[in-house]
Structure 1
Amino acid sequence: MIFLLLGVLALVIGGCVCVVWAERGGPPWVRGVAFVTRTAGELLSSAQKSRRRRSSWGSSSDD
């Protein structure tokens, strides 16, 4: 389990490095990795926002 978490951490850090490198004009493969990283981040962000909307819609604070 630790190795799995370390692998995910390495992928996240590598993706962030590629995003910064691509902003400075890196090679095409870096721009591809940066695109995938940004797209994954946006998908996760929108999924979390929709989950928050659903959970707040179903609950009431009329205590």
Structure 2
Amino acid sequence: MLANLEVKWLYDVIALEESRSFTLAAKARNISQSSFSRRIQSLEASSDSASSIVAPTLCS
């Protein structure tokens, strides 16, 4: 769940957004591409389970 979210994962997402490449983002974060991919997968899995629990509401 998101309670187990690590700050480094947020930096990973930023690096991925900026580079638009898993390889370049992994290099920027000084980790292997496979480790970087696993981090992103963990983050995706965490957000998927959280999104099924929490739903945004529209305020009028």
TM above 0.5, yes or no, is no
TM tier relative to shorter chain: 0.3 to 0.5
Is the helix fraction higher in 1 or 2? 1
Give TM-score, length-normalised by structure 1.
0.41
The TM-score normalised by the length of structure 2 is 0.43
Higher relative contact order (CA 8 A, sep 6+): 2
